[in-house]
């Protein structure tokens, strides 16, 4: 069983477009978990109406809003997911008809699959929101920008993975931007995301480092598991998160692969519907 976990906060129209794009590959997964980070009551009401319109199961789970807690939201989504294989997307992503298949084609125990995305401009996103979601439109938007950065990311990922497996580079060379997938057992082995990351940035990098420390190395789907990132105003620290509140904790010494404040707790936080 395959579960897709999507963290969410307030941007309902972005999530709508993300879910619409997933219609084209709905035979490749079993459920979607929308993990809300404490959206308003109005948004939650509208969201619950929205998710009933899709031809695949969409489960809504939530947690209280105590600052930006995407690490905790993703963990909360996993707690309610049924799948033995997990795919993590963001609510501002558009996927292609074969994106999920590309993840699954590389799935392997003790490995995770990493992918990337192309970023739409403000104008491209504005055009997209005025149109109906279609695979053809998504394909055309993808082709409008160069593959140069995607190829660069793929080659860099392969090189770093080889060096890390040969112990010629440390685990700090691993990163997990974009979207990725992993067997649930491997995610549980490191106790998921570290929920001490509150505020923007650091949680993906920390997860990547701990995966490598646990001997769980990456496989690149960067060239083939394609996605588009819809434009929106940048959050504080979006690009320069190392200037934000999480950097001191991120740089702590002797980080173990198993985080204490992670997926498994005595009582799972949040509610579901």
pLDDT digits (tens, 9 = 90+) for 83-121: 999 999 999 999 999 999 999 999 999 999 999 999 999
- Amino acid 56: pLDDT: 96
Domain boundaries, the chain: 2-234+244-252
Of 70-79, 133-142, 228-237, 262-271, the one with minimum mean pLDDT is 262-271
| Cα 199 from Cα 67, distance rounded (Å) | 6
| Cα 242 from Cα 220, distance rounded (Å) | 25
In sequence order, what DSSP letters do the residues of 187-200 get, joined into one string? Answer: HHHTTSS-TT--SS
Of 158-172, 187-201, 225-239, the one with minimum mean pLDDT is 225-239
Give the Å distances, CA to CA, from 242 to 67, 172, 180, 245.
Answer: 18, 14, 22, 8
Look at the chain and count its residues: 273
Fold that domain 2-234+244-252 belongs to in CATH: Spore Coat Polysaccharide Biosynthesis Protein SpsA; Chain A (3.90.550)
């Amino acid at each position: 069983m395959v579960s897709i976990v999507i963290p969410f906060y307030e941007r309902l129209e972005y999530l709508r477009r993300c879910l619409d794009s997933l219609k084209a590959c709905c035979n490749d997964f079993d459920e979607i978990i929308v993990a809300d980070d404490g959206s308003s009551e109005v948004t939650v009401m509208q969201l619950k109406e929205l998710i009933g319109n899709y031809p695949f199961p969409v489960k809504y789970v939530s947690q209280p809003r105590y600052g930006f807690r995407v690490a905790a939201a993703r963990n909360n989504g996993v707690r309610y997911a049924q799948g033995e294989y997990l795919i993590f997307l963001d609510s501002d992503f558009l996927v292609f008809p074969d994106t999920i298949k590309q993840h699954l084609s590389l799935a392997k125990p003790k490995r995770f699959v990493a992918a990337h995305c192309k970023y739409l401009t403000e104008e491209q996103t504005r055009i997209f929101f005025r149109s109906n979601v279609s695979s053809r439109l998504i394909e055309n938007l993808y082709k409008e920008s160069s593959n140069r950065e995607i190829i660069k990311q793929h080659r860099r990922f392969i090189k770093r993975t080889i060096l890390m497996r040969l112990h010629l580079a440390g685990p700090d060379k691993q990163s997990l931007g974009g979207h990725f997938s992993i067997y649930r057992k491997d995610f549980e082995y490191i106790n998921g995301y570290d929920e001490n990351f509150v505020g923007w940035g650091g949680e993906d990098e920390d997860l990547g480092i701990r995966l490598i420390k646990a001997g769980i190395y990456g496989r690149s789907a960067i060239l083939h598991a394609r996605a588009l990132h819809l434009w929106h105003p940048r959050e504080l620290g979006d690009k320069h998160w190392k200037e934000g509140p999480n950097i001191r904790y991120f740089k702590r010494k002797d980080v173990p692969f198993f985080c204490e404040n992670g997926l498994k707790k005595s009582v799972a936080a949040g509610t579901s519907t």
